[in-house]
Structure 1
C-alpha cells in the first residue's frame, strides 16, 4: 500500500482464507491490523492494557443516553447506563454486560457504543461490569465477579433507578460471553455450587435471567487447534490458537481448571444447561471459536433451550469491535437489539 512500504507486516492474512473473508474486513486488516505486533510473542506486560494503537475507530460514536454513572460494588466496579425518559410501571429491564479481552485486558471503556445503543434502542438499563483481570486476578476471580454482579443487579440496589428484576438479560463478548454463560448457569440453578468458585456464591436470585445474548463466545477452554478449532486454526486472522493459549495461560493457574464447567460451560451437567434462558448467539464464520459456538447452540437446542444463532458470513473475531466499518457487524448488533426488544417487550 502506498506510504506503508516501510512498515513491518506482523499479521498477514493467510492466502487460503482471504477470498472467504468479508471484503470490508480485508480492507481494514490490510490497512491497519496487519501492522500490529502479536501479543503472544512477548512476555506479559500489564502496560498492554493502556497501549494505544494508531488505528482509526472501528466502532461507532455512542448515542446519547439519559445518564452514565460508575459505582463500586464489592471488589469490582460497574458502569450504569440509564435510558432517556421514564420507565413504565414495571420498572426498567436490565442488561448485564461483560466485555471481552481474554480475561486479561479491557474494562469499562470497552463497548461503550454498544452499551449506549442497547440502552436507548432496547429501552433498558445496561450494567457494564469491570471484573477482575488476570494474571493479577486468575480464575475463578472473574467468574465470582460476574456472578456477584448479577446478584447485585437482582437485589434492586439503590444505585439503580426503578428496575424490573423479572426482566434481566445477561450478555458478553468473547471471554466476557464465557462469563455471561457461567453467570446465567448460576442464576438459573438455585443452590447449585460452582466447581471452583466460593461456596458463598450459591445463587439466591428470585427471578432467573430471561435471556442470554452472546457475541463470538468462548465456550470450551479445552478446545485445541488439533480438535475443535481445526476448521479455522491455521487461517483465522487476529485471534489465533497461539494468542488464545497465551491468554488462557494468564487466566488459568492450573490446567485442570480448564475442564471445570465454570471455565468450559459446555461441559456443565445437562440438568443445569437445560435451565438456561432463551439464548441468542452471534458466530463469526472465520473465527477459531466458530465451531465451539455453533456446537454449543446445537447442544442447548437438544436440551430444549430456545436458541437463535446468527452466523456472520466472512466474519472474524474482530466483528463486534469493527461494527463501525463492517456492515455485517453493524447488522449483527441491530439483530441483537431486536432480540432484546422482543425479550423485554420494548420494541
Structure 2
C-alpha cells in the first residue's frame, strides 16, 4: 500500500516539476517502456538538475581497452599528487553515461580534492550481465597502471559509484578478491543496489520518489536473464559467502529509497566479518539525491558531508574516523 512520507519542500517541488514534465512528454506506463524510451526520458529529467561549477578542474577524455571503453578524468589544478576515486555512474544498468555523471564527478574532484576517474560501461539489455562489470574490471586495471600520468597515487585509490554503479563497484571488489587481491583501499557506495530481491521493508513501503520497487524490477529484468543469474554474487554482492578482507566501506543510504534496507544489511554483514564500515544515513532524502546539489538544501548538506568524509579517508590513507571508540555509526 502506498504511504505518505514527509520530505522537504524544496525536494518535493523539484520532484513535482520533473513529474509534470514526464506527464507533458506522455511518459508511457512502466510495463510499456522500452530501453530506448527510458534513455530519452532520463535525459529529459536530468535537465532539471543544475550542473556543478567546474572551475579549477581539468577534464581529459580517453578510451580504454580493446572495446574502447570511454573514460573521463577529473584533475584538480596543481602539481600535487592526489588520491584517486574510480567512479561508476548510476542508471539501472540501462541508461546513464559519462555526461550524466559529469556534475557529480566534478563535485567530488573539487570537494574531496582527489583525481576522479569516471568509467563508462556497456548498457543492458543490449549488453546484459556481466558485460558492464567486465568493462569496470578493465578500467580498474588500466587506472592502477596509468593514474600517475595525471598525478594520481595508485597506492591511494577508492572504487565506488551511485546506485547501479555502486553495485558494479562492490561486485568488482569481490571479483578482484576472488582473483587473489583487491588493490583498492576503500569502496564508496552511494545508495547501492546489492541484491536481486524485493522483499525488504523499504521495498514494501511504497516509496515513489525517483525510484520504486516496480522500476527496480524493470531494471533487473533488463540486466540479468533470470533469477539464478541475478543471485550470483557478482550481480548481488550481498549474496557473497564471505566479505572478509574486502576494503573498508563508506556507505550512503537515504530514508525514502527502496534500496535502503539492503544497504543496512550490507553494512551489518561487512561489520560482522571484521570490515571497517562508515555508514552515513540521510533521513529526509531520496534515491538520486547526489544529483540535486544546488537545489535541495538537505542534499547539499549530505553531499558536503560525503565529500568531506571521502577526503579525510583518502588523505589519511583510508584510516577510519573513530568517534567515541566506535567506528560504525548507524543513524536510523
Is the TM-score greater than 0.5?
Answer: yes
Aligned ranges 1:150-299 → 2 under 5 Å: 150-156=140-146, 160-187=149-176, 189=177, 192=178, 202=179, 208-221=183-196, 223-224=197-198, 227-230=199-202, 232-270=204-242, 273-299=243-269
Q: Distance in 1 between matches of 2:250 and 2:132?
A: 22
What whole-Å deviation, never above 9, does each CA across 1:40-66 have from its counterpart, x for those lacking one?
A: 232424254245527763244332234
- Compared with structure 1, are the counterparts of its residues 123 and 233 closer, same or farther at alpha carbon in structure 2 (3 Å cutoff)? same
Per the TM alignment, residue 186 of structure 1 is displaced from its structure 2 partner at its CA by 2.9
- Compared with structure 1, are the counterparts of its residues 33 and 154 closer, same or farther at alpha carbon in structure 2 (3 Å cutoff)? same
If each structure's helix is expressed as a fraction of its own residues, which one has the higher value?
A: 2
Per the TM alignment, residue 241 of structure 1 is displaced from its structure 2 partner at its CA by 1.3
CA contact (8 A) 2:84 2:116 kept: yes
Matched, 1:46 2:32: no
Matched, 1:83 2:72: no
Q: Distance in 2 between matches of 1:172 and 1:284?
A: 15
- Which residue pairs with 1:17 in the alignment? 4
- Compared with structure 1, are the counterparts of its residues 47 and 286 closer, same or farther at alpha carbon in structure 2 (3 Å cutoff)? closer
Matched, 1:28 2:14: yes
Unaligned runs of at least 5 residues, structure 1: 1-13, 193-201
- Compared with structure 1, are the counterparts of its residues 39 and 58 closer, same or farther at alpha carbon in structure 2 (3 Å cutoff)? farther
Per the TM alignment, residue 151 of structure 1 is displaced from its structure 2 partner at its CA by 1.1
Matched, 1:144 2:134: yes
- Which residue pairs with 1:7 in the alignment? none
What whole-Å deviation, never above 9, does each CA across 1:99-142 have from its counterpart, x for those lacking one?
A: 00000100000121221121122222111011110011100001
Per the TM alignment, residue 157 of structure 1 is displaced from its structure 2 partner at its CA by 6.0
> SS in structure 2 opposite 1:172?
strand
- Which residue pairs with 2:287 in the alignment? 317
Per the TM alignment, residue 288 of structure 1 is displaced from its structure 2 partner at its CA by 0.6
> SS in structure 1 opposite 2:228?
helix
- Which residue pairs with 1:101 in the alignment? 91
Q: Distance in 2 between matches of 1:55 and 1:217?
A: 20
Count how many residue pairs are aligned between Structure 1 and Structure 2: 310
- Compared with structure 1, are the counterparts of its residues 253 and 291 closer, same or farther at alpha carbon in structure 2 (3 Å cutoff)? same
Range 235-244 or range 95-104, more displaced: 235-244
What whole-Å deviation, never above 9, does each CA across 1:285-335 have from its counterpart, x for those lacking one?
A: 011100111111111111111111111112111312223211121122212
- Compared with structure 1, are the counterparts of its residues 151 and 333 closer, same or farther at alpha carbon in structure 2 (3 Å cutoff)? same
Per the TM alignment, residue 38 of structure 1 is displaced from its structure 2 partner at its CA by 5.8
TM-score scaled by structure 1? 0.82
- Which residue pairs with 1:6 in the alignment? none
- Compared with structure 1, are the counterparts of its residues 59 and 290 closer, same or farther at alpha carbon in structure 2 (3 Å cutoff)? farther
> SS in structure 1 opposite 2:60?
strand
Per the TM alignment, residue 346 of structure 1 is displaced from its structure 2 partner at its CA by 7.6
- Of 299, 310, 315, the residue aligned with 1:329 is 299
> SS in structure 2 opposite 1:260?
coil
Q: Distance in 2 between matches of 1:344 and 1:54?
A: 33
Runs of 4 or more consecutive aligned structure 1 residues displaced over 6 Å after TM superposition: none
> SS in structure 1 opposite 2:292?
coil
Range 102-111 or range 50-59, more displaced: 50-59
TM-score scaled by structure 2? 0.86
CA contact (8 A) 2:162 2:189 kept: yes
Q: Distance in 1 between matches of 2:114 and 2:266?
A: 27
Per the TM alignment, residue 166 of structure 1 is displaced from its structure 2 partner at its CA by 0.8
Per the TM alignment, residue 230 of structure 1 is displaced from its structure 2 partner at its CA by 5.0
> SS in structure 2 opposite 1:298?
helix
Q: Distance in 2 between matches of 1:179 and 1:34?
A: 32
- Which residue pairs with 1:72 in the alignment? 63
Per the TM alignment, residue 174 of structure 1 is displaced from its structure 2 partner at its CA by 0.4
